[in-house]
Amino acid sequence: MRKIYIFDTTLRDGEQSPGVNLNVQEKVEIGLQLEKLGIDRIEAGFPAASPGDLAAVGAVARAVKNATIIGLARSREQDIEAVREALALAQDPCIHLFLATSPIHRKHKLRMEKHQVLEAAEAAIKYAKKYFSKIEFSPEDAGRTELDFLCEVTEMAIRAGATVVNIPDTVGYMTPSEFGNIFKTLKDNVRGIEKIQLSAHCHDDLGMATANALAAVLNGADQIEGTINGIGERAGNTSLEEVAMALETRQEFFQAKTGLVLGEIYRTSRLVSKLTGMVVPGNKAIVGANAFAHESGIHQDGMLKEKTTYEIMSPETIGLKESKLVMGKHSGRHAFREKLVDLGYELEGEQLNVAFAKFKDLADRKKNVSDEDLRALIEEKLVATPEVFAFDAIQVSYSNQSAPSATVRLHHEGQAIEVSAEGNGSVDAIYMAIDKATEEEVELDDYSIQSVTQGKDALGEVHVVLKQNGISVSGRGVSTDILEASAKAYIDAINRLIDKRKSPGAGRRDNVSLI
């Protein structure tokens, strides 16, 4: 059966989602989980965009050993040099070059003629060939490029030394039949096409990214590019878990499959959702909360008689398991550790001690601790941010007849700081007090609450986005009390903001159009 290579761009195209800003540790954490998932090629970022991006790509390249690590570059020598620097220690490096080819981009963005586009792209590929044995080239907006010119560009890229030619539907304009026809045309008409792999990179502006990607597979694509949970700028990218499960579930039709470890899909989805702050909709295919839920009486009756009546795939396939261990306040350290292993977390030493203490604290407040509770508990501090300010306690006074007030106690450099403030509401009062305690002037750009589990004692997860002088950071907090979770999320964001100010190139990122 034909193998379809998976190119993950969660760390590059996915991070271009509005409000998403991953730090170095978070990029490494996601990169390592993508490695567990069995991703073949990981696009770690765009090194020329900023010194911070360059450092993050380098960190992922050093940490991930079992996947090709890719850096994006415009068709410019300085961009190629940035990728070269970032991937210097990668075991299997690859550069991803791009240049727009469609008439609208040539005229309005590049102000270049066809022959100038060909010359610039060829020069960039040849320059990159001096440093990289693996080169992917993307004619940006290929979907709206004339087919004869796209054939010419592809043939040029092969001659110049590209090993993969990617066909991006940059603005999500294509239909499956149109997009599939591009691949068929290239396969039938381009000399030397057998020397390279063809790749498909689709956007979801019209809701057809997954369908277009699968149409490309049917017409000869060797690689599919996309992101976990389909995140990305505008309406997002091809959802990789959807492609993987479509190929797995309909093998007899596609006669192709990925090399992904399917049992890692759910955990990867959760991790990306947590670290990006982008909540997965309940009706999202494969990984949504309702993907394997059945409420209709007719459906439930069918499921009880034979699961395949209404389930075309099992939740176990993507890593959703029903555990036999019921966790509560009487559970011991060994059972707790085994439960974490079952959920995919391998903690040792001090990490395990801290997690166990947090679990005991939660178990005192909840009769039964669910798998989702444990995941939220572990993932809250999955990526450590230096704690300049540490949360200690809050006290809130609320009345609809007077202004709410809050007292917050933090620890900073071994000293306790206790500050009170009033606000328009309880959360506002808490945040006003934290601002006074930390002496930070920030703008609250986003605030959201999500219930992690069900019931009156459910864990609440709060996600905030703060801005300061062009720097944007996110913070997360989890607690059975949403006011406490709100305080934790805000302090987490403050700590990330302070940490980010210390990093090179904080707040600066080149404003360029990417595929």
**What one-character-per-residue DSSP string does 4-25 give?**
-EEEE-TTTTGGGSTT----HH
Nearest 5°: phi and psi at 502?
Answer: -80, -20
CB contact at 8 A, 37 and 6: no
pLDDT in tens, 124-142: 999 999 999 999 999 999 9
Q: What CA–CA distance (Å, rounded) separates 24 from 3? A: 32
pLDDT in tens, 472-494: 888 888 888 999 999 999 999 99
Of 433 and 380, the one with more pLDDT: 433
Q: Where are the domains of the chain?
A: 2-276
Tell me what pLDDT residue 323 has.
47
CB contact at 8 A, 184 and 177: no
386-401 burial code (b ≥16 CB/10 A, e <16): ebbbebeebebeeeee
Of 339 and 422, the one with more pLDDT: 422
Tell me what pLDDT residue 352 has.
86
Q: What CA–CA distance (Å, rounded) separates 374 from 368? A: 11
Tell me what pLDDT residue 419 has.
95
Tell me what pLDDT residue 401 has.
82
Tell me what pLDDT residue 90 has.
98
Tell me what pLDDT residue 291 has.
80
Of 178 and 298, the one with more pLDDT: 178
Tell me what pLDDT residue 172 has.
97
Instruction: Put the strands of the sheet holding 415-422 in their side by side order.
Output: 390-399, 402-412, 415-422
Q: Is the pLDDT of residue 356 over 90?
A: no
Instruction: Average the pLDDT over 235-260 and give the result.
Output: 97
Rg (CA), the chain: 25
Instruction: Average the pLDDT over 295-306 and give the result.
Output: 57
Tell me what pLDDT residue 138 has.
98
Dihedral of CA atoms 408, 411, 413, 418 in degrees, nearest 10, equals 40
Of 452 and 168, the one with more pLDDT: 168
pLDDT exceeding 70 applies to what percent of the chain? 91
Tell me what pLDDT residue 350 has.
83
**Residue 172 CB burial class (10 angstroms; 0-12, 13-18, ≥19):** buried
Neighbouring C-alpha atoms within 13 Å toward the C-beta of 248: 19
Q: Is the pLDDT of residue 375 over 80?
A: no
Q: What CA–CA distance (Å, rounded) separates 235 from 239? A: 11
Instruction: Average the pLDDT over 217-227 and give the result.
Output: 98
Tell me what pLDDT residue 231 has.
97
Q: What CA–CA distance (Å, rounded) separates 178 from 143? A: 8
Question: What is the amino acid identity at position 58?
Answer: G
Q: Tell how far CA 264 is from the center of its chain.
A: 14
Dig out the tokens for 442 from the structure.
């920030």
DSSP letter at 233 equals S
Q: What CA–CA distance (Å, rounded) separates 445 from 438? A: 18
3-state SS of 138-180 is EEECHHHCCHHHHHHHHHHHHHHCCCEEEEEECCCCCCHHHHH
Instruction: Average the pLDDT over 457-475 and give the result.
Output: 85
Which helix or strand (DSSP H or E) is residue 382 part of? none
Tell me what pLDDT residue 298 has.
55
pLDDT tier, 244 (very low <50, low <70, confident <90, very high otherwise): very high
- For residue 99, the tally of other CB atoms under 10 A from its CB is 24
Q: Which of 37-41, 59-63, 505-509 has the lowest mean pLDDT?
A: 505-509
Neighbouring C-alpha atoms within 13 Å toward the C-beta of 171: 11
Instruction: Average the pLDDT over 35-56 and give the result.
Output: 96
- For residue 508, the tally of other CB atoms under 10 A from its CB is 13
pLDDT in tens, 377-431: 776 655 556 789 999 999 999 888 889 999 999 999 989 999 999 999 999 999 9
Q: Is the pLDDT of residue 297 over 70?
A: no
**Would you call 182 helix, strand, or coil by DSSP?**
helix
Q: Which residue has the tokens 């492609």?
A: 243
Instruction: Average the pLDDT over 227-242 and give the result.
Output: 96
Question: What is the amino acid identity at position 348?
Answer: E
Q: Which of 130-134, 438-442, 462-466 has the lowest mean pLDDT?
A: 462-466
Q: Which range is most confident: 173-182, 370-379, 409-418? A: 173-182
Tell me what pLDDT residue 343 has.
75
Instruction: Average the pLDDT over 246-252 and give the result.
Output: 97
Dihedral sign computed on CA atoms, order 365, 370, 373, 378: positive
Q: What CA–CA distance (Å, rounded) separates 318 from 19? A: 28
The answer to whether the pTM exceeds 0.85 is: no
- For residue 456, the tally of other CB atoms under 10 A from its CB is 6
Q: What mean pLDDT, rounded, does the chain reach?
A: 89
Tell me what pLDDT residue 210 has.
98
Q: Which residue has the tokens 């494969």?
A: 286
In total, the chain counts a number of residues equal to: 515
Instruction: Average the pLDDT over 288-297 and give the result.
Output: 68
Long-range contacts of 357-361 (CB under 8 A, 24+ apart): 359/327, 359/331, 360/329
Which helix or strand (DSSP H or E) is residue 44 part of? strand 41-45
- Please report, for residues 295, 326, 370, 371, the alpha-carbon distance to residue 457 in angstroms, rounded to integers and kept in the order given: 24, 16, 11, 14
Taking the domain 2-276, which CATH number applies?
A: 3.20.20.70
Q: Which of 107-116, 168-177, 297-306, 450-459 has the lowest mean pLDDT?
A: 297-306
3-state SS of 455-497 is CCCCCEEEEEEEEECCEEEEEEEEECCHHHHHHHHHHHHHHHH
pLDDT exceeding 90 applies to what percent of the chain? 65
Q: What CA–CA distance (Å, rounded) separates 465 from 484? A: 17
- Please report, for residues 53, 420, 512, the alpha-carbon distance to residue 48 in angstroms, rounded to integers and kept in the order given: 7, 44, 10
Q: Is the pLDDT of residue 324 over 50?
A: no
Q: Tell how far CA 137 is from the center of its chain.
A: 23
CB contact at 8 A, 202 and 175: no
Nearest 5°: phi and psi at 381?
Answer: -120, 30
**Would you call 379 helix, strand, or coil by DSSP?**
helix
